[in-house]
Amino acid sequence: MRAARLAARGFRNLADFDLGLPPAGGVFLGPNGHGKTSLLEALYYPVLFRSFRGAADQDLAQWGGPGFGITVGLSDCRTAELGAVYSRAERKRRMSIEGTEVRTLADSVGQWLAVVFLPTDLSLVQGAASERRAYLDRVLSLSYPEYFRALLRYRRGLTQRNSALRQGRTDLAQSFESGMAGPGAVIIAARLAWTGKIGSRFGTESVALGETGTTGLRYKGEAALADPEAWPAAFEAARRREESRGVTLVGPQRDDLLLDLDGHSTRDFGSTGQQRTAAVALKLCELATIAETRGTEPALLLDDVFAELDEARQAGLAERLKASERQVFVTAPRRDELPDSLDLPLFEVREGRVHAGVLR
């Protein structure tokens, strides 16, 4: 799957543009703060119809502007064009496929597939459990549409149940439990299956990136809840604690993905280099999972990632990129900060404007 065109208006600090994209991808060069990351953000937005930096839609629109619009033209797939328009006045986002508005997020997500590497992805290892749950939800939602639908259903039920618990409405909270058990079980079962399957891949990718220790992945959660029949007893056992705390204590929203190195927690005992290697290996596992389940290679977006790696890990990542025909987009302040083997068309981003080639 490849992006052949990217157009945006009113987005971040970028001047309006309509840019043809090479099949191989490209390198976006330019000073920090001039729009390189925003360009990747616009390209990734129609993957999940949200910012990869976690920004709300209203914060993606230019100051004082009415909103923003993004269009991605695709090749090598059945969908030719995806669009998104956000209106600040209406505080509403509209999504479209082939120019026809799509009303549900579940029908829009996954038409365009890409994986993004960010310098902040170190938080996948160093950060809170919520970072790793978000990673699992993204990988599995893009790989399995039924997972995404289950996730949306479960989150709706969880929000309603937590609201009832905060109000002290135990009877109302109980009414949402049967509706949460089915999708909650789907989520946990899928996470357990993925973790068991991808563990060896995670180790292989870590070694390819220069890790010499023994790595592992473990899912931390109540495995019994992969069966919806186990949920009523779990809710009942937690009821008094939930009533006193006003929050749901049962379900996948409390689970974690544990990363190990030589039998110890990578988060607690790994060096920064080892933690960064684990984060990159997780991203390569994300790429592999989506490619295998969807039958097409997702594009790869690298935001100033090579600058965060030592020379050996740079070489390892560059070799992994060469092993595939996927489309790759990279940002860097200067070309000499990238491996020589990364041979892609050059663009320059300066003062919010994108130019093909490098300006003199």
Delimiting residues of CATH 1.20.1050.90 domain(s) in the chain: 126-295
Q: Are 53 and 348 in contact (CB under 8 A)?
A: no
Rounded distance, CA 216 to CA 211, Å?
12
Angle at Cα 75 formed by Cα 71 and Cα 77, nearest 5°? 105
Could you tell me which residue, 70 or 342, shows the higher pLDDT? 70
Delimiting residues of CATH 3.40.50.300 domain(s) in the chain: 1-113+297-360
Percentage of the chain lying above the pLDDT 90 cut: 76
Write the pLDDT tens digit of every residue in 76-132.
Answer: 766 689 999 999 999 999 999 988 999 888 888 888 999 998 888 999 999 999 999
Write the pLDDT tens digit of every residue in 195-218.
Answer: 999 999 999 999 988 889 999 999
Q: In CATH, which of 1.20.120.450, 3.30.70.920, 1.10.10.10, 1.20.1050.90 is domain 126-295?
A: 1.20.1050.90
Q: Mean pLDDT for the chain?
A: 92
Q: What is the DSSP letter of 61?
A: B
**pLDDT reported for residue 77:** 67
Average pLDDT over residues 18-42: 93
Write the pLDDT tens digit of every residue in 282-328.
Answer: 999 999 999 999 998 899 999 987 777 777 777 777 777 766 678 99
Q: Is the dihedral of CA 167, 169, 173, 175 positive or negative?
A: negative
Helix (H, G, I), strand (E, B) or coil at 344: coil
Q: Residue 118: which of 130, 105, 135 has the closest Cα?
A: 135
Q: Are 153 and 183 in contact (CB under 8 A)?
A: yes
Which residues, at least 6 apart from 358, have a Cβ–Cβ distance to it below 8 Å?
29, 335, 346, 348
Write the pLDDT tens digit of every residue in 158-187.
Answer: 999 999 999 999 999 999 999 999 999 999
Q: Are 61 and 88 in contact (CB under 8 A)?
A: yes
Q: Are 117 and 305 in contact (CB under 8 A)?
A: yes
Residue labelled with tokens 């390198």: 27
**pLDDT reported for residue 326:** 84
Rounded distance, CA 331 to CA 40, Å?
8
**pLDDT reported for residue 79:** 66
Could you tell me which residue, 332 or 305, shows the higher pLDDT? 332
Parallel, antiparallel, or unpaired for β 25-29 and 346-350?
parallel
Average pLDDT over residues 3-21: 95
**pLDDT reported for residue 323:** 61
Phi, psi of 234 (to 5 degrees): -65, -40
Reported CATH class of domain 1-113+297-360: alpha beta
Rounded distance, CA 98 to CA 127, Å?
39
**pLDDT reported for residue 143:** 94
pLDDT at 246 over 90: yes
Per-residue CA distances from 192 to 140, 195, 263 (Å): 11, 5, 20
Distance from the first to the final alpha carbon of the chain = 33
**pLDDT reported for residue 359:** 54
Percentage of the chain lying above the pLDDT 70 cut: 97
pLDDT at 50 over 90: yes
Strand partners, 6: 19, 72
Could you tell me which residue, 310 or 354, shows the higher pLDDT? 354
Q: Are 306 and 328 in contact (CB under 8 A)?
A: no
Token pair for 21: 């994209």
